[in-house]
């Protein structure tokens, strides 16, 4: 597949995998994906497995991501993890604003914006999640919701940092439900997101920014989704928990 932007496929393991299970998974993934050069492959284990997974993927084509971080750099914030602490484990990416955090931890666009700026401040690349709920889509508000989330989360971001930000379009109704957006729905949303980025920044930035699709991606639908001109990768939940299924998504995307 010939795209101007390099595909990026990330696995969001959520609150799954002990250290031993995590090591098992990455060892399989390393084996399955060792010849893949066309895709940036990222795994996002829970915080507790970052250290060991980081060592296990040294000298491989797999990169490390975290699932969240604090907007603060240090201090009295019990239970929080700062960007600088992630850097100690050679973390390169961090998922921000996942719909589960928006829903359960009530994360707002303003908070996600602070985290995004803090991540860039530590040279971590954010994977910024945005997406509409089913009710919002059915009410014809998808574009309004996406534009509002983008404007709020990307506020004050220099254009260079925007280029290094990955956007994950994750329609909330497709996450963990087995209900994938159609390729056309994904392409339409991605095209719209790129247009909003062009408006907020400029055409060059919009052309360079990578936009992943997330929501029940599996090996069976990966190829069709990735063949869309504005789909530059995937953020994968459930199917990233098993080495074969995640590796098949990666290989089917090329
Ligand atoms: C996600 O949680 O980011 C996700 C896309 O999950 P799933 O692939 O399980 O729908």
pLDDT value of residue 69: 98
- Which tokens hold the place of 86? 């992630």
pLDDT value of residue 3: 74
- CB under 6 Å to ligand 1: residues? 12, 170, 175-176, 214-217, 235-239
Find the catalytic residue in 98, 100, 107, 120. Answer: 98
Q: Return d(Cα 248, Cα 240) in angstroms, integer.
A: 10
Residues whose CB falls within 8 Å of the CB of residue 131, separated by 6 or more in sequence, listed in order? 99, 145, 146, 149, 169, 170, 171, 172, 175, 214, 215
Q: How confident is the model at residue 179 (pLDDT cuts 50, 70, 90)?
A: confident
User: What number of helices (H) and strands (E) belong to the chain?
Assistant: 12, 8
Which residue's C-alpha comes closest to atom 7 of ligand 1?
Answer: 237
Which residue's C-alpha comes closest to atom 1 of ligand 1?
Answer: 237
- Say if residue 1's pLDDT is above 60: no
- Average pLDDT of the segment spanning 169-191: 94
Is 170 one of the catalytic residues? Answer: yes
> Looking at the chain, which runs of residues are DSSP E strands?
7-12, 39-44, 62-66, 93-96, 125-130, 166-169, 210-214, 233-236
Q: pLDDT tens digits for 17-70? A: 999 999 999 999 999 999 999 999 999 999 999 999 999 999 999 999 999 999
Q: Classify residue 75 as exposed, middle or buried by CB count within 10 Å of its CB (0-12, 13-18, 19+).
A: exposed
pTM across the whole model: 0.97
Q: pLDDT tens digits for 72-107? A: 999 999 999 999 999 999 999 999 999 999 999 999
pLDDT value of residue 23: 98
pLDDT value of residue 4: 86
Q: How confident is the model at residue 186 (pLDDT cuts 50, 70, 90)?
A: very high
């Amino acid at each position: 597949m010939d795209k101007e932007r390099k595909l990026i496929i990330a696995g969001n393991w959520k609150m799954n995998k002990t250290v031993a299970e995590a090591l098992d998974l990455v060892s399989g993934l390393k084996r399955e994906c060792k010849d893949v050069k066309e895709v940036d492959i990222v795994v996002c284990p829970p915080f507790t497995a970052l250290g060991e997974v980081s060592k296990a993927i040294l000298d491989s084509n797999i990169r490390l991501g975290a699932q969240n971080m604090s907007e603060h750099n240090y201090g009295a914030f019990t239970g929080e993890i700062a960007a600088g602490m992630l850097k100690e484990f050679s973390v390169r990416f961090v998922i921000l604003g996942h719909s589960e955090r928006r829903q359960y931890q009530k994360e707002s666009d303003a908070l996600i914006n602070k985290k995004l700026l803090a991540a860039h401040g530590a040279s971590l690349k954010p994977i910024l999640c945005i997406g509409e709920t089913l009710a919002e889509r059915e009410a014809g508000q998808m574009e309004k919701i996406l534009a509002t989330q983008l404007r709020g989360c990307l506020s004050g971001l220099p254009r260079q940092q925007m280029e290094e930000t990955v956007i994950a379009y994750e329609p909330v109704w497709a996450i963990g439900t087995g209900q994938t957006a159609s390729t056309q729905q994904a392409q339409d949303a991605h095209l719209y997101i790129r247009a909003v980025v062009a408006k907020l920044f400029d055409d060059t930035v919009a052309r360079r920014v990578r936009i992943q699709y997330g929501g029940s991606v599996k090996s069976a639908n990966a190829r069709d989704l990735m063949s869309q001109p504005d789909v530059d990768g995937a953020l994968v939940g459930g199917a990233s928990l098993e080495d074969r299924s995640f590796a098949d998504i990666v290989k089917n995307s090329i």
